[in-house]
Amino acid sequence: MNLADLRSDYGRGTLETDDLDADPIAQFNVWMKAACESGMIEPTAMSLATVGADGCPLLRTVLLKGIDARGFVFFTNLESRKARHLAQNPHASLLFPWLALERQVIVTGRAEKLSVAESLRYFLTRPRDSQLSAWASAQSSIIASRKMLEMEWAQIKTKFGDGEIPLPSFWGGYCVQPRTIEFWQGRPGRLHDRFEYTRQPDDSWRLDRLAP
């Protein structure tokens, strides 16, 4: 198999200035709705890029759990590698790879930790097994085996019994407050449509077309 010979030509849609809302969050919601209605797997999945104190970037996939005027919200273990990176360098980037729609959205911004109250509100909506996993997994740490992880999970399940599972002190959320938001629509011949919103000092947004 020659990977260089694998290619697709994109032709599902176009993107023009007149198609875009003046507010990038409103525009994102339009595209997110289309992604959710398309039937694709995990439309809320986003790649999160961070950079630690050593200057080396790291990328992983997390799920978007909220969006409002502040920005893009996700939740995680606050002792994980991503959380350690964000403590060292709060700048982050998000990528929504909606390939089935021949679209991408790229966000850059600063990640701010959410309040305990907001994290608790979300934690209480999680399935019970996911709540238990938050307690059982010391995310990003080295473990001896999956069996050890499952044993820890079983012990946590026994500990809490049928009672309410509290929010772990080491678990919470972040909001990536956007500085730029780019909307990318695939086009034939690699002449893609790209538009980038950039936040201005007065919190308005400038919209620019970018070369593909």
Catalytic sites, residue numbers: 190
Q: For residue 202, what are its two tokens? A: 């007065």
**CB-CB contact of 106 with 92 (8 Å):** no
Rounded to whole angstroms, how far apart are CA atoms 40 and 115? 32
CA-to-CA separations, 172 to 69, 74, 79, 187, 203, in angstroms, rounded: 20, 9, 10, 39, 27
Rounded to whole angstroms, how far apart are CA atoms 28 and 69? 11
Contacting residues for 7 by C-beta, under 8 A, at least 6 apart: none
